[in-house]
């Protein structure tokens, strides 16, 4: 079924992130390490192969007691030759030919015989590489059973037929006699080259993998394997004095160690295990020790080669089967992950397309890569119009600096959540959005792009503006009511109290003849005077004429002084660089916050000292009221029934200021109000 437009759009928009990852092949990684010198100069390659072949040839010639002429049971140099052709190609043949001639000539044999043996080894090794490369996708690390069987049959057993035939023919044409006849010589030659391939060639390509064991448990297990197999070989083939009984029938006791290595450590473990066993067994037999010594050089050579094949062939094939199974399982799991990822993308695509939020993605250059239906509805651009263009087309000029700052945070790996800002639509109008920005990284952990989620909050902003308008009207109505009550108190109640005070004063003067009555009239006069004073103070607090006439500094200082007098407290007031003129709404807002905060501090802090600081900075005015009293739980107070904190918060919003309250039980309280004040003059 053809994918729908939404799914196709989402998959295309996110596919680029997955292209940074790859499914690695363990065997190919091993080959890559072995072939690291392929790009080196040919001279270096030739020198490397020449030296390796010479060393392997000298090791093969070291077992003189079981060799005859230039033949022996194991010829590791032939394994080096096959590995060289597989790693470097046919152009490496001069290094093989010269080193093979040198080793044969120094054996010693006649120069013609050495040349014939060198030619046979070079041609046979090249044919081995040719035939195994006919296997599709042949892997010298033997990660598949077919590769292991190809190496065993074609490279080891098959190509050795050619090298043995050419080599033995050359020896007999030059009158070099080996072992007891033509066939025994040919058999040892063939077995020696075959075992050389089985023991050395896989080890060349897989030995580096054994140095990548990362866990301590695996390292300890591998060390135990090598130690136990070495000890067993020394006991079986070394004829140690501690074990006086001959253990000829126990030669195959080393077989379980090869199986152990194949199962737990793959081709590299099996090849190394067989190589160690072959080395110890060959050296012991050459020294006249072990189950294969004492029956003659030919029998010892054949028995050793047979043992090595019995160990190498099952070990390599078992390791290859396990590697192939693990590879297949890894491939299956990779396909499962791919299928799961695709299903997840499809589900996400459906979610993205059905979302009411604009969801889009960009690369590191801020180019839009994907664009959902909600983005088209909110911003007006179609997918064809948006994809491929810069995300800056949505950012108004006034918000460019803000957007650049957000992008820097994104590059630092930070996620931006619910950032409220303004974006542009296709028609050029502004839309209020809540932005969530998440970094997207590639398989190497590098920043590859970003996921943008825009939520249209225009309705909410309009509701907030409407609510702010209502709050402003309520506060204006409150101030008007305060002014009305203050005028009533000042113009009516206070004046009537003054008249009453005059009457009481007349009464005091007329009661001097009656001492008891005179005393009561004096008390009554004092009480009337106190009431008149309190009414006047209340009138000023409800509506301070000083705030309008003298400004915020004088009104605040008088208020602090009056509260201190009335409450028998200390209110320290400090004014620093306060502007001479401020908008009336800002002055009134700060004055009301000062009144509320100082009253709360005096009444509820438990201390009788409050600090007030009013300060101006370029473009801003700050008000701070603090005490060292009992403190309170701010969240609980806001959730309570009181309206003082709510009133302060609403007032500061109307002048686009910021209000913060820092308080903890028994640690005091600080109320800070900050209001932007552009263009103000300070004194």
CATH of the domain at 372: 3.30.450.20
Residue 9: is its pLDDT beyond 50? no
Which of 67-76, 128-137, 536-545, 600-609 bottoms out in mean pLDDT, i.e. has the lowest?
Answer: 536-545
Angstrom distance (rounded) from CA 357 to CA 393: 18
In a domain, 582, yes or no: yes
Minimum mean pLDDT among 15-29, 99-113, 406-420: which range? 15-29
Contact indicator for 555, 658 with CB cutoff of 8 Å: no
Any residues with CB less than 8 A from the CB of 620 and at least 6 apart, and which? 674, 675, 676, 677
Say what the pLDDT of residue 51 is.
93
Asked if residue 615 belongs to a domain, the reply is yes
Residue 546's pLDDT is 66
Characterize the bridge pairing of strands 609-617 and 570-576: parallel
In a domain, 145, yes or no: yes
pLDDT value at position 5? 46
**Arithmetic mean of pLDDT over the chain:** 80
Cα 173 from Cα 168, distance rounded (Å): 9
Please, are residues 502 and 456 in contact by the beta-carbon 8 Å criterion? no
Instruction: Determine contact, residues 132/297, Cβ cutoff 8 Å.
Output: no
Sign of the torsion formed by the C-alpha atoms of 132, 136, 142 and 145: negative
Specify if 397 maps to a domain. yes
Q: Which of 27-31, 36-40, 340-344, 570-574 has the largest mean confidence?
A: 570-574
For the cut 50, the answer to whether the pLDDT of residue 37 exceeds it is: no
Higher pLDDT, 467 or 173: 173
619 plus 656 within the same structural domain: yes
**Residues 313 and 183 occupy one common structural domain:** yes
The CATH number of the domain holding residue 583 is 3.30.565.10
Which CA distances in Å does 50 have to 110, 156, 461, 484? Answer: 21, 21, 81, 111
Highest mean pLDDT among 234-238, 249-253, 379-383, 541-545 belongs to: 379-383
Average pLDDT over residues 464-490: 62
In this structure, is residue 598 part of a structural domain?
Answer: yes
Backbone angles phi and psi of 672, in degrees to 5: -125, 130
Which of 456, 472, 506 delimits the end of a domain?
456
- 261 and 310 in a common domain: yes
Same domain? For 491 and 523 the reply is yes
What CA–CA distances, in Å, run from 163 to 98, 128, 190, 333, 347? 16, 10, 7, 44, 63
The mean per-residue pLDDT over the stretch 54-73 comes to: 80
Is 602 found in the same domain as 465?
no
By C-alpha distance, which of 563, 559, 663 is closest to 605? 663
Decide which of 294, 329, 364 is a domain's last residue. 329
- Quote the pLDDT of residue 611: 92
The answer to whether 20 and 445 have CB atoms below 8 angstroms apart is no
Top mean pLDDT of 26-40, 195-209, 330-344 is at 195-209
Q: Domain of 382?
A: 355-456
CA dihedral 257, 260, 261, 264 (to 10 degrees): -160
Low-confidence winner among 80-94, 475-489, 595-609, 655-669 (lowest mean pLDDT): 475-489
Q: What number is the average pLDDT over the span 172-193?
A: 84
Q: In what order do the strands lie in the sheet with 570-576?
A: 570-576, 609-617, 620-627, 669-676, 658-663
Q: State the pLDDT at residue 24.
A: 36
25 contact partners, CB below 8 Å, separation of at least 6: 143, 327
Q: Are 645 and 600 in contact (CB under 8 A)?
A: no
| pLDDT (average), residues 293-314 | 82
**Pair 518, 574 in one domain:** no
Domain end call among 456, 482, 511: 456
In a domain, 345, yes or no: no
Query: Average of pLDDT values for 222-237?
Result: 87
Residue 231, in any domain of the structure = yes
Could you tell me which residues are beta bridge partners of residue 439? 450
Task: Convert the pLDDT of each residue in 553-572 to its tens digit.
Answer: 888 888 888 888 888 888 89
DSSP type of residue 619: T
Looking at the fold, whether 560 and 533 belong to one and the same domain comes out as no
> What is the four-CA torsion angle of 177, 183, 189, 190, rounded to 10 degrees?
170
The predicted pLDDT at position 343 comes to 75
* CA geometry: angle 380, 383, 384, nearest 5 deg: 110
Which residue carries 């190498």 as its tokens? Answer: 312
Q: Are 456 and 509 in contact (CB under 8 A)?
A: no
Over pLDDT 70: what percentage of the chain? 80
User: Tokens 């080894």 label which residue?
Assistant: 121
Q: Please, which pLDDT band fits residue 574 given cuts at 50, 70 and 90?
A: very high
Cα–Cα distance measured from residue 124 to residue 167, given in angstroms and rounded to the nearest whole number: 10
151 and 261 belong to one structural domain: yes
Confidence (pLDDT) at 460? 80
Over 60: is that where the pLDDT of 269 sits?
yes
21 lies in a domain?
no
CA distance 604 to 606: 6
**Of residues 212 and 14, which shows the higher confidence score?**
212
Measured in Å, how far apart are the chain's first and last C-alpha atoms?
78
Q: Is the per-residue pLDDT at 11 higher than 70?
A: no
Give pLDDT, residue 477: 62
Q: Is the pLDDT assigned to residue 38 strictly greater than 50?
A: no
pLDDT at 683: 41
Same domain, 316 and 169: yes
Highest mean pLDDT among 13-17, 558-562, 622-626: 622-626
Q: For 267, what's the count of Cα atoms within 13 Å in the CB-facing half-sphere?
A: 34
Given a cut of 90, whether residue 297 has pLDDT beyond it is no
- Give alpha helix (H) positions in 89-181: 93-105, 111-132, 145-150, 159-173
Q: Are residues 466 and 452 in the same domain?
A: no
- In this structure, of 20-29, 212-221, 420-429, the range with the lowest mean pLDDT score is 20-29
479 and 586 in one domain? Answer: no
Please state the rounded mean pLDDT for residues 80-102: 92
CA atoms within 13 A on the CB side of 276: 21
Region of poorest pLDDT, from 79-83, 262-266, 530-534: 530-534
Is pLDDT of 98 > 80? yes
Q: How far apart are CA 289 and CA 284, in angstroms?
A: 5
Query: How much is the pLDDT for 86?
Result: 92
Residue from 169, 162, 215, 214 nearest 190 by CA: 162
pTM over 0.85: no
| pLDDT exceeds cutoff 90 at 617 | no
């Amino acid at each position: 079924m053809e994918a729908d437009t939404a799914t196709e759009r989402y998959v295309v928009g996110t596919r680029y992130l997955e292209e940074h990852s790859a499914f690695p092949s363990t065997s190919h990684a091993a080959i890559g390490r072995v072939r690291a010198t392929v790009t080196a100069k040919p001279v270096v390659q030739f020198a490397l192969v020449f030296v390796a072949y010479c060393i392997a040839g000298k090791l093969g010639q070291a077992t003189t007691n079981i060799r005859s002429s230039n033949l022996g049971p194991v010829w590791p140099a032939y394994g080096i030759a096959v590995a060289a052709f597989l790693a470097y190609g046919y152009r490496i043949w001069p290094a093989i030919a010269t080193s093979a001639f040198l080793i044969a000539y120094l054996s010693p044999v006649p120069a013609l015989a050495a040349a014939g043996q060198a030619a046979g080894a070079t041609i046979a090794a090249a044919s081995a590489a040719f035939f195994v490369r006919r296997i599709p996708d042949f892997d010298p690390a033997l990660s598949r059973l077919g590769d292991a069987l190809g190496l065993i049959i074609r490279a080891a057993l098959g190509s050795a037929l050619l090298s043995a035939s050419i080599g033995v023919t050359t020896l007999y044409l030059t009158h070099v006699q080996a072992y007891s006849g033509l066939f025994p010589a040919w058999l040892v030659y063939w077995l020696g080259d075959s075992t050389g391939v089985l023991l050395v060639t896989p080890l060349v390509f897989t030995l580096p993998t054994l140095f990548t064991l990362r866990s301590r448990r695996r390292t300890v297990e591998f060390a135990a394997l090598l130690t136990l197999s070495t000890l067993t070989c020394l006991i079986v083939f070394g004829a140690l004095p501690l074990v006086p009984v001959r253990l000829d029938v126990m030669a195959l006791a080393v077989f379980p160690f090869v199986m152990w290595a194949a199962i737990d450590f793959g081709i590299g473990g099996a090849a190394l295990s067989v190589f160690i066993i072959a080395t110890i067994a060959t050296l012991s037999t050459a020294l006249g020790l072990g189950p294969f010594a004492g029956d003659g050089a030919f029998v010892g050579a054949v028995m050793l080669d047979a043992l090595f094949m019995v160990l190498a062939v099952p070990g390599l094939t078992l390791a290859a089967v396990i590697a192939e199974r693990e590879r297949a399982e890894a491939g299956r799991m990779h396909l499962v992950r791919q299928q799961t990822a695709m299903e997840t993308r499809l589900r996400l695509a459906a979610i993205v397309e059905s979302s009411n939020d604009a969801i889009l993605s960009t690369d590191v250059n801020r180019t839009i890569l994907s664009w959902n239906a909600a983005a088209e509805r909110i911003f007006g651009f179609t997918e064809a119009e948006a994809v491929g263009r810069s995300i800056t087309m949505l950012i108004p000029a006034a918000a460019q600096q803000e957007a650049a700052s957000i992008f820097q945070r994104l590059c630092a790996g930070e996620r931006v959540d619910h950032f409220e800002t303004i974006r542009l639509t296709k028609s050029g109008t502004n839309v209020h959005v809540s932005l969530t920005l998440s970094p997207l990284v590639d398989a190497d952990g590098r920043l590859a792009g970003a996921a943008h989620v825009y939520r249209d909050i225009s309705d909410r902003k309009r509701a907030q503006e409407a609510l702010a308008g209502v709050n402003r009207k309520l506060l204006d109505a409150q101030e008007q009511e305060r002014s009305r009550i203050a005028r009533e108190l000042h113009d009516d109640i206070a004046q009537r109290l003054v008249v009453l005070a005059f009457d009481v004063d007349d009464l005091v003067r007329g009661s001097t003849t009656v001492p008891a009555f005179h005393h009561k009239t004096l008390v009554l006069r004092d009480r009337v005077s106190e009431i008149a004073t309190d009414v006047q103070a209340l009138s000023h607090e409800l509506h301070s004429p000083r705030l309008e006439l003298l400004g915020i500094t004088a009104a605040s200082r008088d208020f602090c002084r009056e509260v201190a007098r009335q409450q028998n407290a200390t209110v320290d007031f400090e004014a620093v660089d306060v502007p001479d003129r401020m908008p009336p709404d800002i002055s009134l807002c700060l004055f009301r916050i000062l009144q509320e905060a100082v009253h709360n501090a005096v009444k509820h802090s438990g201390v009788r000292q409050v600090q007030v600081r009013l300060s101006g900075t370029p473009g801003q005015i700050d008000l701070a009221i603090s005490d060292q009293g009992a403190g309170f739980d701010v969240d609980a107070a806001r959730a309570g029934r009181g309206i003082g904190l709510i009133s302060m918060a609403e007032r500061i919003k109307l002048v686009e200021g910021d209000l913060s309250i820092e308080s903890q039980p028994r640690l005091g309280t600080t109320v800070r109000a900050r209001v932007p004040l552009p263009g103000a003059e300070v004194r």
